[in-house]
Amino acid sequence: MIRYLRDYYVDADVAERVVERLRRRHADGAYDQSNDDQAFADAVTQDTVAASADAHLQLRYSVAQLPERDTLIVPESGRHPEEAASAGHGFVRTERLPGNIGLVEIGQFYPARISGNVAAAAMTLIADTDVLLIDLRRCPGGEPDMVALVESYLYDERTQLNSIHFPAEKRTVQWWTDPFVPGPRFGGTKPLYVLLSTQSYSAAEGFSYDLQQNGRATLVGEPTATGVSYFDYRYRVSDHLMFSVPSGYVVNPISGRGWAPQGVQPDIRVPAHEALDTAYALALEHVLGLGAGGWRARIATEAEVALTSDRPVERDH
């Protein structure tokens, strides 16, 4: 673990601070009472996070035995398709709200190779709505390829999202929107709101920060809490333990930095439980501004009824 920290962690000074704490705690016998791998992983993680203020720096327990041949484990949540499928591939809620407003709640950005078809179906459903709300208030993160895929539906032109710099490897990976996506795009001109909370982490932060810095979305809710814009690799430590080591840091092409240390800041700051109703009300106002002539009369009526309703849409969530 110490070798991985020193060789790959993005901040050498922080790595040494973590090494010092782990050695001191080990010498003090802090891990002697950890009688199984899960307990040991939890105890070590408590110390690595405390020393680094980085929630990504974790020793993780795997129920399944890790392959001996893999020193570097691809950092991919939902490695098993069954896991992603049992969680709806991360798409918790996708629907058209009254007033022709789309709502997509993403609970996890699963790998695009596993869940890309579900992402395409969800984005196709809301492609023709007038305004889109994307709810990330309960999203702990996920994979950058799925972030890029979903964002690809939200622009008209190919757009750079961010770069990830890996200092130890002296390389940089750029993430762009995809030039081709399955199905229609929502596009890059209609209003877009992203809902955030203190429980929006990692890839959810990257997704919202990309859109905000490109001027593509209005963020509504609470500032995110992690304030760490890192990308982690996972290294095999034993048959059932892997060490998650942030080895790259995110840089946005517009701001020239990531969202650390302050987290992603919403454009409209409200308590998380009010974010959906706040964004929905703004979306309805926009829809009413589109007029009520011809075929839009029905949509305008829906919007008027919804806007004057005393039943917040959050209650249906």
* Residue 311 confidence (pLDDT): 66
Q: Which tens digits make up the pLDDT trace of 75-115?
A: 554 457 888 899 999 999 999 999 999 999 999 999 999 99
pLDDT, position 75 = 52
Residue 134 to residues 159, 207, 275, Cα–Cα distance (Å): 19, 10, 11
What local confidence, expressed as pLDDT, does residue 229 receive?
66
Q: In residues, how long is the chain?
A: 317
Those residues with Cβ within 8 angstroms of residue 295's Cβ, 6 or more apart along the chain or in another chain: none
- Crossing angle (nearest 10°) for helices 112-125 and 144-152: 20
pLDDT band at 53 (very low <50, low <70, confident <90, very high): confident
Share of the chain above pLDDT 90, in %: 72
Residue type, 118: V
Q: In this predicted structure, what is the pLDDT of residue 78?
A: 45
pLDDT at residue 50 is higher than 80: yes
Give CB contacts under 8 A, 24+ apart, made by 22-31. 22/47, 22/48, 22/51
Helical residues (DSSP H) of the chain, grouped into ranges: 2-8, 12-27, 37-52, 81-86, 112-125, 144-152, 203-213, 272-288, 296-308
Yes or no: say if 107 and 77 are a contact pair by the CB < 8 Å rule. no
pLDDT surpassing 70 at residue 227: no
Contact predicate 130/100, CB 8 Å: yes
Mean pLDDT of 36-42: 93
- The DSSP 8-state label assigned to residue 189 in this structure reads S
Give the H/E segment covering residue 163. strand 160-166
- For residue 238, what are its two tokens? 């034993």
Query: Among residues 308, 314, 293, 286, which one has the least CA distance to residue 100?
Result: 286
Per-residue pLDDT at 316 exceeds 70: no
Q: What is the pLDDT of residue 261?
A: 79
On the question of pLDDT at 72 being above 80, the answer is no
Contact 243, 237 (CB under 8 A): yes
Instruction: Report the pLDDT value the prediction gives residue 102, as an integer from 0 to 100.
Output: 98
Query: Selecting from 1.10.287.3510, 3.90.226.10, 3.40.50.150, 3.40.50.10420, what CATH number does the domain 81-311 have?
Result: 3.90.226.10
For residue 150, what pLDDT is reported?
Answer: 98
The more confident residue out of 315 and 1 is 1
Sign of the torsion formed by the C-alpha atoms of 265, 270, 274 and 277 = negative
Q: What gap in Å lies between CA 203 and CA 206, rounded to an integer?
A: 5
Q: Yes or no: say if 222 and 173 are a contact pair by the CB < 8 Å rule.
A: no
State the Cα angle at 282 between 278 and 286, rounded to 5°: 165
* Mean pLDDT over each residue of the chain, to the nearest integer: 91
Q: Is the pLDDT of residue 164 over 50?
A: yes
Task: Kindly tell me if the per-residue pLDDT of 44 is higher than 70.
Answer: yes
Give the pLDDT score at 64: 82
Q: 244-271 pLDDT, tens per residue?
A: 998 888 999 999 998 987 899 999 999 9
Highest-scoring range by mean pLDDT, 70-74, 251-255, 310-314: 251-255
Planar angle of CA 179, 184, 188, nearest 5 degrees: 65
Residue 274 has pLDDT above 70, yes or no: yes
Q: How far apart are the first and last CA of the chain?
A: 43
Handedness of CA 212, 269, 57, 37 (dihedral sign): negative
Tell me the whole-structure pTM to 2 decimals: 0.88
